[in-house]
Amino acid sequence: MIICTSNKDTHTMLIKSAVLIVTAMLFFAVSAHIEAANVNYAIGVYGGLAPSLGDDLQSYLQYYRYGSQSGVDGINRTQDGYETSNIDRLLGLGFGISFKTLLFENYQIRIAVNYTRGMWGGEGTTLFGGVPTLLDCDYSFRMYDVPLTFGISIPFWKDVKISFNCGAAFAYGWYQNRFTENSATTYKGKFTGRGYPLVILLEAEYFINDKIALTSALSYYRGATKLIEDTYDDDGNIDYARLNFTGYRFNLGAVYYFISI
């Protein structure tokens, strides 16, 4: 199924995002009715890396015109007499803020807002065709997501807690590609869309006092959009792609608890 984004899609996306946030707020409101001694709240900030942002960045044009069946991984080609440069998957840089409720010291509800964009990779020169033709490639990807997860928090020794969470996220992304043949003909693709990837999060906290902890986290997202038609119409070409949110993220940050741990 092919879908195109529109103002209606954007409005729907904003509504669903608001619903997710309101749902989380309801969970917090419910938890507030539990005895205060058994409830704690925390806010955290963090930043980190997202290897292979956008996954393999596969598109219709890559597959059928340039013979790449595995996106960026399959488009790299070299041959003596041609000056090429390797095209690497995107390495993303991101940051976010989280809010969570800790129930009975060991159970938690967590919601976060994240923004991630590709910062390195996704650019280079390769070859295509029976008679080799130089092909300059450029890829970009950025996204924001709002994950809502539930999990357990287990204390280790006096100063360490490790938590395991799972849930889902509302994600919205932007993906662009550009292919230039022999520095002359250029094809462009631009894709925007939303998805609801599954989320698994493993986080460790080291307390430097009774309210503040340093954090490190590994999260895994899995999910993609439906097939989307690109919105560029001035290059005489129509491309199709899915925005793939699947991948790992590594974050470092800090968290503040409102009640002493």
Q: What is the CATH number of the domain that holds 6?
A: 2.40.160.20
Q: What is the pLDDT of residue 133?
A: 94
Tell me the two tokens of residue 76.
């790299």
Q: What is the pLDDT of residue 261?
A: 81
Tell me the two tokens of residue 84.
């090429």
Q: What is the pLDDT of residue 38?
A: 86
**Distance (Å, whole) CA 164 – CA 187:** 44
pLDDT in tens, the chain (261 residues): 333 344 445 545 555 555 555 555 555 555 455 445 589 999 999 999 999 999 999 999 999 999 999 999 999 999 998 999 999 999 999 999 999 999 988 899 999 999 999 999 999 999 998 889 999 999 999 999 999 999 999 998 889 999 999 999 999 999 999 999 999 999 999 999 999 999 999 999 999 999 999 999 999 999 999 999 998 877 678 899 999 999 999 999 999 999 988
Q: What is the pLDDT of residue 1?
A: 33
Q: What is the pLDDT of residue 224?
A: 97
Q: What is the pLDDT of residue 13?
A: 54
Tell me the two tokens of residue 220.
């895994």
Taking only the tens place, the pLDDT of each residue in 25-69 is 555 555 455 445 589 999 999 999 999 999 999 999 999 999 999
Helices vs. strands in the chain: H and E counts, helices first: 3, 13
**Distance (Å, whole) CA 3 – CA 127:** 31
Helix (H, G, I), strand (E, B) or coil at 136: strand
- Angle CA(212)–CA(216)–CA(220) in degrees, nearest 5? 135
Q: What is the pLDDT of residue 9?
A: 53
Q: What is the pLDDT of residue 27?
A: 55
Taking only the tens place, the pLDDT of each residue in 60-84 is 999 999 999 999 999 999 999 899 9
Q: How many structural domains compose the chain?
A: 1
Q: What is the pLDDT of residue 3?
A: 37
Domain that holds residue 41: 2-257
